[in-house]
Amino acid sequence: MTLKGRVIGMVKATHFGPTVLVVSISFTLAITQLSFGKSVGVALAILSGQCVVGWTNELVDHGRDTEAGRTKKPLVNGSVDRKQLQIGIGVALTAAILLSFLGPLGVRGRWLHLLGLGSATVYNFWAKSTLLSPLPYAISFGALPWAIYSAAHKSPAPWLYIDFALVSVSFHFLNVIKDLEWDRDQSVLGFPQRIGKSGSIWTASLLLLTAIIVAILR
């Protein structure tokens, strides 16, 4: 595997699409409260945390991904290896901590960011296979606007962090649908897997509807 191929594999292993979305939303929210430079600092802290979460997920799920034949996964198709991911996690975690403590997030913001990062990591290692699987999404994404607003010495409006939590949990229910049967066969029994495809779609729809209503009535 060429160096270019391995770099691309590491980028894909961050769960590139969701990572770009989360970092873009974080930067957009930050620029409404902070200077451009500070907003970049916030985005880099969030990006580092997303790398930790994505790469950890790849390692934890490697056995199940191989069994399910998910050849698009970088670790399964060999575009990256476990040692690369482990080194990457160490570097990204160090960067996330340093950027949280030395960047613009401030005292409260840094701990809120690390709370979100810790919650997402708990999901990878444990919660994803339990009835509590939606909880880390609610905690991590609910904490995101709090961390950003804290950098500006403010508190977000209640509707904002409530909607972040509701939409993220909705995404959790929708995201597992494509692999739901495989997850069940492999004993990954989070909340969505337990209520099935139809139940997950209805739950996600209800959560999104609630988020819209909360935003309208803010």
Q: How far apart are CA 119 and CA 179, in angstroms?
A: 22
Give the pLDDT of residue 204: 98
CATH code of 192's domain: 1.10.357.140
Task: Give the SS3 label for residue 15.
Answer: coil
- Domains in the chain, number: 1
Domain limits for position 145 = 3-216
Burial class (CB in 10 A: 0-12, 13-18, 19+), 187: exposed
Q: What is the DSSP string of 43-59?
A: HHHHHHHHHHHHHHHHH
pLDDT of the chain along its 218 residues, tens only?
687 888 999 999 999 999 999 999 999 999 999 999 999 999 999 999 999 999 999 999 999 999 988 898 999 999 999 999 999 999 999 999 999 999 999 999 999 999 999 999 999 999 999 999 999 999 999 999 999 999 999 999 999 999 999 999 999 999 999 999 999 999 999 999 999 999 999 999 999 999 999 999 98
Q: What is the DSSP string of 109-158?
A: HHHHHHHHHHHHHHHHHTGGGSTTTHHHHHHHHHHHHHHHHHHTT----H
Distance of alpha carbon 119 from its chain centroid, rounded?
A: 9
Token pair for 187: 């004993």
